[in-house]
Amino acid sequence: MKNFGFTRVAAITPRVKVADVEYNVSEICRLVLEAEEKKASIVVFPELSVTGYTCGDLFGNNLLVEGAEDGISRIRKFSRGKEAAIVVGAPVRCHHKLYNSAVVIRNGEIRGIVPKLYPPSYNEFYESRWFASGADFLSPTMQGGDIIGYAGQNSVNMSPNMLFRIGEATFAIEICEDLWTPIPPSSFHSVAGADIIVNLSASNEVLMKHVYRKNLVCEQSAHTLSGYIYCSAGYGESTQDLVYSGPSLVYENGTLLAELPRFSRESGTIYADVDVEKLSVLRRKQSSFCYFTPDGTGAAAYARLYTRVDLGGGPSTDFSAEFFRHVEAHPFAPENDTLEIDSRCREITSIQVTGLMTRLEHISARTAVIGISGGLDSTLALLVTVMAFDRLGWSRDRIIGVTMPGLGTSGRTKGNAVELMKILGITMREVPVIKAVEQHFSDIGHDPSVKDTTYENAQARERTQILMDIANQTGGMVVGTGDLSELALGWCTYNGDHMSMYGVNASVPKTLVRSLCKWAATNVFAEAGKVLLDIVDTPISPELTPADEEGNIAQLTEDLVGPYELHDFFLYHFFRFGSSPEKILFLAEKAFGGSYEKETLEKWLKKFVWRFFGSQFKRSCLPDGPKVGSVSLSPRGDWRMPSDAHADLFIASLGRERKG
């Protein structure tokens, strides 16, 4: 059973009774059993969950502290035969001091105790009245922590600097206030090797605090490129002065995976499958993911200050049966949040427009020349160019839109192209290519009845020649229309539509091109809304083979290379996270399970890999164009790949027998 680099975690907020260790431990054990059934590897409870956080001066009473130790002993014995690593909060005595601590238990043994570094004593908090700082264990004489006897176990390591490995994941711990400090301990834990940060918390509610708290956890998970389990106290804590709502969260690299509804009377659990493999890839890619101390030593030297604890393999989790994370089918194009769509589309087009404006001014261009086909890509390029000219204060008649009817041009696309140019008020030119292409066929001895690659590419190259020459003729530049998806698949004619003087769509995938055109129809170019929406609804085609008898498009791109929504999904996970084709297929099943059969997904994924590797030579000589998102195939920027790399290893991985 393959786990694809995922680790299942659980954040559990139990209903507590303040100072009632017997009740709290019973509830913890009951909830651990539920998490065991779900095959969670790491099970986290809130700060001081064994006693309750709000015991106040009762923490100064030996009976409560000893009762907590007995409670931990009970959990330790209960954990025998269990596979999960259990992390609970308890007050722990050491050297005549009391520490607010996280206790890590697995399979009948306490594997480590992590004390809180920053007990708060401001506003409503007064922890230093009862608890010492875990910084005591970072002194020169105790840098590796201390060994104590605790909860019936003779030897337990106690230190803030501990890394616990279970299965493929390594986690470290900080406690509540630790996160709210200028440089949280998790910043150091992550560069020392922790993939997942565990935070046992007791964060009370005040107006707007939850928004700040979520932002804090979100940003820290992003800064540390980690999974972050934030587990906070809830119902049953004393409401003498404060209210605790159980605001537990799981984030991964700035993305929310799970959130527990607040203000519940009952115990609550959230599960999430953290992609540790993805986090590892991101850390390898980000060369600045390191830590340098003032004396010049690096992350490797710093990591030696940590005690590493191997907890063994985690539970054998079948992620194919139940998966606790959402897999976005269209990662490039948000679909449901209207405000998010508007915000993203405005930012993307602003990047495109600014890039084009800068280039036009730099070369003192008198015109911008664009081939207008009535399809999505040329439409977006035209809209961006119009916005650029408007911002520059240049007349739109300096934009030259050229229609070049060919052997496969349909009435619908040509009509939409002409109508759009009229509405936008640009200069229109029509240069048919049929006679020139037929002459070319005659010149090279090609039979026009053979509708092969030569038949199609001759038209694309003829059109590019026309655009380039008109640009020379008018003192302008050719604005490229090709998009990121076509570049990934090599679905462009080398030295044809593959070439321009500035490619404004070069890092915009097809699914996003459609979203941008649809957005522009209602938010920017309402006067052209009707024709823009018809272009959005037009089947995608290069129109290089004749239309049918009714004049409709006969050559449908997605019938030939596969659905663009799949290819964009494949590209995103292959490029962004270095996922293997086998893992991409697994994720695609989760994202598209109701829309495509597994065999169909595998068929198009193999096609994607084959075309991606075989088309690198086209990407190695791309014209300039602005990067707009996290995925870009520019040979000068994000993607440097040899044109003769082999795809065999990647395609063969899909042929292996998959278990589970």
Active-site positions read 47, 116, 176
Asked if residue 38 lies in contact with residue 8, where contact means CB atoms within 8 angstroms, the answer is yes
Strand order in the sheet with 85-94: 146-150, 153-158, 109-115, 97-106, 85-94, 42-44, 6-13, 268-275
CB atoms within 10 A of CB 62: 8
Sequence letter at residue 170: T
Cite the DSSP H helix spans in 490-563.
510-523, 529-537, 557-561
Within 129-179, strands assigned E span: 146-150, 153-158, 162-166, 169-175
**Residue 253, token pair as written in the block:** 């690299």
- Residue in 147, 122, 118 with CA at minimum distance from that of residue 135: 118
Strand, helix or coil for residue 258: strand
| Burial readout 450-469 (b: 16 or more C-beta within 10 A, e: otherwise) | eeeeebbbbbbbbbbebbbe
Q: Measured between alpha carbons, how far is residue 534 from residues 301, 530, 550, 556 in Å? A: 61, 6, 18, 17
Which is it for strands 6-13 and 42-44: parallel, antiparallel or unpaired? parallel
The residue whose two tokens read 């470290």 is: 172
Strand, helix or coil for residue 100: strand
Radius of gyration of the chain (CA): 30
The angle at the Cα of 479, spanning 497 to 631, to the nearest 5 degrees, equals 75
